[in-house]
Amino acid sequence: MEQKKEDCLVSCVDAGLGYENRAIIEHLDFSVHRGEYICVVGENGSGKSTLIRTLLGLLKPVSGKVELAPSLHGGAIGYLPQQTQAQKHFPASVMEVVLSGFQNQMHG
């Protein structure tokens, strides 16, 4: 099936991802179109969280281009980061944290 440019939701073109201008992922090329699913897997420290944080706009690419469709801007993507040592005793269940992401949408 031929993909249309307007169906492209996420695009990485020769992207370098990392921190402080030091790439831990280099020459990343992929796109995700409407109706497609992706699964990000890899060993600890391989850059999975860095990829997700870059796609969310929390990090800027070190090089290349990372583009999201306009429909994905402005909080359209939810993100629940990995648990840190300080969060182990956070007084909320996973369900409560996930539902908190919908609070603004439910009151409007």
Tell me what pLDDT residue 88 has.
66
Question: Could you give the maximum distance between any two Cα atoms of the chain, in Å?
Answer: 49
| Long-range pairs, 78-82, Cβ under 8 A, ≥24 | 79/52, 79/53, 81/49, 82/49
Q: Is the pTM of this model over 0.75?
A: no
Strand order in the sheet with 63-68: 22-33, 8-19, 63-68
Tell me what pLDDT residue 106 has.
57
Query: What is the rounded average pLDDT for all residues in the chain?
Result: 84
SS3 assignment, position 48? helix
Q: What is the pLDDT of residues 11-63, one digit of tens each?
A: 999 999 999 989 999 999 999 999 998 889 999 989 999 999 999 888 999 99
Domains assigned to the chain: 5-78 (3.40.50.300)
Tell me what pLDDT residue 37 has.
87
